[in-house]
Amino acid sequence: MILAGRTMVARDMVTKLESTYVETSQGYKMTIVTLGSRREVTLSPGKLEGLLNSRDVHIKDVRDRLDKLAASLIDQVNSLHTQGRTSISSGQTFFSGDSMHTIEVNPTLADNPNMVATGTTTAEGDNTIALAIADLANMGLGGPGTQSVGDEYRAMLTVVASKRSSYEFMVENQQNVVASLETKMSSISGVSLDEEGANMVRYQNTYNAAAKIISTVQEMYDALMAMA
């Protein structure tokens, strides 16, 4: 089996693939690479290439909005968490990264959960920071009048669902066109068994008639020769 000029399967040898993200001037782009050597595989037109193209082109707007949402959430949460204090730390950021691909909990906090600040003081029961972070789910990340995390996420789901419905309709129409053309081609170039059967009977009858004429002529010739 060969894919994009590379031998993928040959007897007992199999080349495995995996996806990875590469940062470009237009943002992060998903590429297919070989496992181990990490060589990029350039795909030829086909279903797999179409899926990647849909993801990198048609869903780019949604991906950009998710990156922007993640970056805003990171800034908002970190702004609040750095104001917090614990008995062993203060001023720690909660998230690292700057996009949906790189966002993750600060490794320092992940390794030591006791450094997660829930309040601005070390007083027992102080949860002002935790409540403020929880309120971000219902507050506009860009300020008053802007959408919350939940609102923005639901809006993006609506966009994706709408595009999917539109593309499915287009695919169905194209499939119907292809099926119609294939039917027309078959009617023009295809072989009709009924027609061929009728022709065979007609040719057989013609052959039998010709054989009868030859047989009659042969009998007449034999009779003439006998008279002579």
d(CA 128, CA 122) in angstroms, rounded, equals: 11
Residue 61 corresponds to which tokens in the numbers above? 């707007």
What whole-number distance in Å separates Cα of residue 213 and Cα of residue 202? 17
Q: What is the model's pTM?
A: 0.54
Instruction: With cut-offs at 50, 70 and 90, classify the pLDDT of residue 128.
Output: very high
Position 84 scores a pLDDT of 92
Distance CA 44, CA 3 (A): 8
H/E run at residue 2? strand 2-3
Specify the pLDDT at position 127: 93
For residue 98, the SS3 value is: coil
> According to the model, what pLDDT value does residue 7 have?
64
Give the pLDDT band (50/70/90) at residue 141: low
At residue 62, does pLDDT exceed 60?
yes
CB neighbours of 71 closer than 8 A, spacing ≥ 6? Answer: 98, 99
Count other C-beta atoms under 10 Å from residue 64's C-beta.
15
Q: Which residues pair with 34 in a beta bridge?
A: 17
